[in-house]
Amino acid sequence: MVDLLGQYDNIQEQVDLKILEVVKSAAYINGPEVHNFQKELENYLGVKHVIPCANGTDALQIAMMGLGLKPGDEVITADFTFAATVEVIALLQLTPVLVDVEKDTFNMNIKALKKAITPKTKAIVPVHLFGQCANMEAVLEIAATHDLFVIEDTAQAIGADYTFKDGTKKKAGTIGNVGTTSFFPSKNLGCFGDGGAIFTNDDDLAHIIKGMVNHGMYKRYYHDVVGVNSRLDSLQAAILRIKLPNLDAYCEARKKAATYYTNAFSENSNITTPIISDFTTHVFHQYTIQIQHVDRNALHQHLLDNGIPNGIYYPVPLHSQKAYVDARYKEEDFKVTNELIDTVLSLPMHTELDTEQLDFIITTILNFVNK
């Protein structure tokens, strides 16, 4: 699905030198690399504060802790996403409330979001799934009406641009009260291990979160709040500093591959290609098609048999996962997610795909669906 070695090849000299430099510096934790990466990412995103942490799941958890959410508070998120989002809600003993998504963009359905709001609702977590932003203008409007926090899960969409109706542009993750991301190796900006970050323009929240990632300390050995230990290490930060200047080029390479796929499939009535909302760019963390009239699972297997990696993201809606079942959920409220789990297929998508590989993937798919 991804070609991490191919991407490394292009920056190998820089990376190898840097790794050696960090090793010899012995500043493995909270060294200057982490501080410099933080500043450079703030600059790239146009956000006041970036707080690096250990992974994207921690980032979500710490964001919710920082906002002071309390057990019993309801937090609304999408039914069709990676489980990390709902997991941290449950871990903090908040009440997850899952809502259906839109069939064309895979992102949170705004009508379903409105319907899910109760007096206990405290926050909304839009997930910018597969690389394009959810309808943030609508989310912000609802949040303002009901006095709710907005936490953007940007693990799959770092680098995407959102355009408001008045023409203002913002980077994904810098639109709500707080945004979170992951630097897991296969993400669009990936390190060589685990990593994550939290973004905010709110000075007070940034201060709270900076202590929370470090055992709740604002002064050494004085623990004012219950915190966690969640750090991005210097080696990962050093690698991310080399990759960050390439992020826009990485996104472009992904978009180019996506356009190539879309052109090849657009005339085919058995394949629905990704649709991009007009308020967002798409950085194609995943290139996900929907398969009609043909057995999706058989196509999945056929591609594997031909040596083509492909994934079903996601095979089970969160509301049906054993850990997250809730008597309040009604199947008719999750019509779209229940359909998508049987039709979606994510194709190889990374920065190193060449036309020969793309042609082989496309031909193999078309031969099967046109059979």
Q: Which residues bind ligand PLP (CB under 6 A)?
A: 55-57, 81-82, 84-85, 127, 153, 155-156, 182, 184, 194, 196
By C-beta, is 84 or 365 nearer to ligand PLP?
A: 84
Identify the burial level of 238 via C-beta atoms within 10 angstroms of its C-beta, where 0-12 means exposed, 13-18 middle and 19 or more buried: buried
- Least distance to ligand PLP from the beta carbon of 194, Å? 6
Strand runs labelled E in 166-306: 169-171, 178-182, 196-200, 217-219, 222-223, 271-272, 287-291
Tokens 């031969």 sit at which residue?
367
Long-range contacts of 262-267 (CB under 8 A, 24+ apart): 264/358, 264/362, 264/366, 265/289, 265/362, 265/365, 265/366
Quote the CA–CA distance of 294 and 2 in Å, as a whole number. Answer: 26
Q: How far is CA 97 from CA 62, 182, 224, 232, 290, in A?
A: 19, 23, 31, 30, 26
Give me the least distance between CB of 269 and ligand PLP, in Å please: 31
Cβ 196 to ligand PLP shortest distance, Å: 5
| C-beta nearest to ligand PLP: residue | 56
Closest distance of CB 180 from ligand PLP, Å: 8
Q: Which is nearer to ligand PLP, 214 or 286 (CB)?
A: 286
CB of residue 178 to ligand PLP, shortest distance in Å: 14
Given a contact cutoff of 8 angstroms between Cβ atoms, the answer to whether 309 and 72 are in contact is no
Q: Which is nearer to ligand PLP, 197 or 264 (CB)?
A: 197
